[in-house]
C-alpha cells in the first residue's frame, strides 16, 4: 500500500514537472505554424498583386507553381538558380524552400535585374532564404562548391548543356535539374537547341528526363533515378 502511494506520488510529481516543457513545445509549434501562415499569406498576396507585371524573361505564373510543387513534394533543401531575372521564379523557389527548411543561391548577370529581384524578394518576405550573386554564370557555375538537390536553369539557352555538365558532379543522389523553355511535341519534335539539349541530358546514365505536360513555357525535368526516378507528375 505504501509502495502504491509512493508510485502515484512520483507519477504526479513527474507529470507536474513535464507539463511546463510540454506547454512550451506546444507554444513553439503554434508560433511556427502562425509564422508560416503569415509568410504564406504575404507571399501569395505579393504574387497575386504582381501577376500581370512580370517581364524581363520571367517564368509565367503556372510554371512558377510547378517549380514550387517539385521542391515541396520532393523535400529539396539546397537549390541553385541560373538566371534570376527580376525574381519571379526566385520567389516561387524560395517560398517552397521556406517550407522544407532550405535555402537558394541565385545568379544574375544584369545589375538592374539583380537589384530589382532583391527588392521583389524583400517585399515578398523571403530574403532570409535567398543568397543573391551578381556575375557571369559561365564563370560562377563551374566554380561552385558543395552539392545541390535542385537546380533551375533559365539563362542563355545555348549554354544549357554546359550548365548541366558543370552542375552534374554537384548533384545529390535525389536531385533534379530543371531547364526552362524546353518543349517537345507529342511527336517528340523540338527546336534545334531544345532537341540537342534533350538528347544530351537523356544520355545521363543515372537520370531520367521528361518534359512537364502542364508547363506553359516548357519545363524539362532531369532527375536522379531514386524510387522510380521522376515518379508521378502532378497535374496542377
The reported pLDDT for the residue numbered 234 is 46
Q: Which has the minimum average pLDDT: 23-37, 58-72, 179-193? A: 23-37
The total number of structural domains that make up the chain: 1
Q: Which has the minimum average pLDDT: 12-21, 123-132, 222-231? A: 12-21
How many CA atoms within 13 Å lie on the side-chain side of 152? Answer: 34
Q: Domain holding 91: CATH number?
A: 3.40.50.150
Q: Note the helical H segments in 50-183.
A: 61-74, 88-100, 111-124, 137-143, 160-167
C-alpha cell at 12: 504526479
**Residue 170 counted as domain residue:** yes
Mean pLDDT of the region 45-49: 87
**Residue 78 counted as domain residue:** yes
Domain containing residue 107: 61-224
The reported pLDDT for the residue numbered 52 is 72
Q: Which of 137, 144, 140, 176 is nearest to 160 (CA)?
A: 137
Question: How many residues belong to the chain?
Answer: 236
**Residue 231 counted as domain residue:** no
**Residue 31 counted as domain residue:** no
**Residue 12 counted as domain residue:** no
The reported pLDDT for the residue numbered 23 is 45
Using DSSP's 3-state secondary structure scheme, residue 83 falls into coil
**Residue 153 counted as domain residue:** yes
**Residue 17 counted as domain residue:** no
**Residue 116 counted as domain residue:** yes
pLDDT tens digits for range 194-222: 999 999 999 999 999 999 999 999 999 99
Q: Which of 183, 169, 187 is nearest to 217 (CA)?
A: 183
Q: Which of 24, 19, 85 is nearest to 57 (CA)?
A: 85
| Cα radius of gyration (the chain) | 22
Amino acid at each position: 500500500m505504501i509502495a502504491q502511494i509512493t508510485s502515484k506520488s512520483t507519477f504526479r510529481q513527474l507529470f507536474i514537472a513535464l507539463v511546463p516543457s510540454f506547454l512550451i513545445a506546444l507554444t513553439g509549434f503554434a508560433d511556427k505554424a502562425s509564422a508560416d501562415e503569415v509568410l504564406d499569406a504575404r507571399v501569395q498576396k505579393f504574387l497575386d498583386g504582381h501577376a500581370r507585371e512580370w517581364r524581363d524573361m520571367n517564368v509565367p505564373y503556372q510554371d512558377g507553381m510547378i517549380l514550387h510543387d517539385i521542391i515541396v513534394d520532393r523535400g529539396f533543401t539546397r537549390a541553385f538558380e541560373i538566371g534570376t531575372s527580376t525574381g519571379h521564379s526566385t520567389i516561387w523557389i524560395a517560398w517552397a524552400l521556406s517550407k522544407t527548411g532550405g535555402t537558394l543561391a541565385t545568379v544574375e548577370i544584369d545589375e538592374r535585374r539583380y537589384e530589382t529581384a532583391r527588392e521583389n524578394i524583400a517585399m515578398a518576405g523571403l530574403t532570409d532564404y535567398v543568397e543573391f550573386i551578381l556575375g557571369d554564370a559561365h564563370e560562377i557555375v563551374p566554380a561552385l562548391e558543395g552539392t545541390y538537390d535542385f537546380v533551375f536553369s533559365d539563362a542563355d539557352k545555348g549554354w544549357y548543356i554546359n550548365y548541366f555538365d558543370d552542375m552534374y558532379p554537384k548533384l545529390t543522389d535525389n536531385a533534379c535539374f530543371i531547364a526552362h523553355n524546353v518543349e517537345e511535341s507529342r511527336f517528340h519534335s523540338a527546336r534545334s537547341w531544345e532537341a540537342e539539349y534533350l538528347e544530351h541530358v537523356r544520355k545521363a546514365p543515372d537520370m531520367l528526363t521528361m518534359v512537364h505536360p502542364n508547363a506553359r513555357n516548357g519545363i524539362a525535368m532531369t532527375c536522379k533515378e531514386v524510387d522510380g526516378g521522376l515518379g508521378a507528375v502532378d497535374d496542377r
